[in-house]
């Protein structure tokens, strides 16, 4: 398996997990309340699931791969900003930073 395929499937799998978690978990309701972003929880979950499905579809369509990687990367920049704004500890930044870097790298590869 090549590196791009591995990164794409890893990112898609993680975003499917986080997206469904965001949509259906009571814990995420509390997290988004803590962030002061309750009204964006559903939208965030839908964007994560849509981006993950777009990454899978992007294996056959490079335009879809570019849009998905760019959108998910931007979503992770927003996640990092949110973590910074609520003064979370540094280790809470790791998932968003890692997924942001992965999607940034995929964006560069697909361009």
pLDDT in tens, the chain (111 residues): 699 999 999 999 999 999 999 999 999 999 999 999 999 999 999 999 999 999 999 999 999 999 999 999 999 999 999 999 999 999 999 999 999 999 999 999 988
Q: What are phi and psi of 47, to 5 degrees?
A: -65, -40
Give the Cα separation of 29 and 33 in Å (integer): 6
The per-residue pLDDT for 98 is: 96
> Cα 40 to the chain's mean position, in Å?
14
| Rg (alpha carbons) of the chain, rounded to whole number | 14
Among 67, 38, 33, 36, CA closest to 52: 67
Give the per-residue pLDDT at 62.
92
Alpha-carbon span 73 to 109, nearest angstrom: 14
What Å distances lie between residue 7 and 4, 26, 52, 55, 102, CA to CA?
Answer: 5, 29, 12, 10, 7
What is residue 111's predicted lDDT score, i.e. its pLDDT? 84
């Amino acid at each position: 398996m090549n590196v791009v395929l591995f990164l794409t499937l890893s990112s898609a799998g993680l975003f499917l997990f986080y997206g469904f978690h965001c949509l259906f978990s009571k814990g995420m309701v509390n997290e988004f309340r803590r962030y002061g972003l309750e009204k964006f929880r559903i939208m965030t979950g839908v964007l994560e699931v849509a981006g993950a499905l777009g990454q899978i579809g992007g294996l056959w369509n490079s335009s879809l791969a570019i849009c998905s990687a760019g959108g998910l990367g931007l979503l992770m920049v927003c996640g990092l900003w949110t973590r910074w704004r609520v003064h979370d500890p540094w280790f809470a930044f790791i998932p968003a930073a890692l997924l942001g870097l992965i999607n940034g790298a995929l964006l560069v590869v697909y361009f």
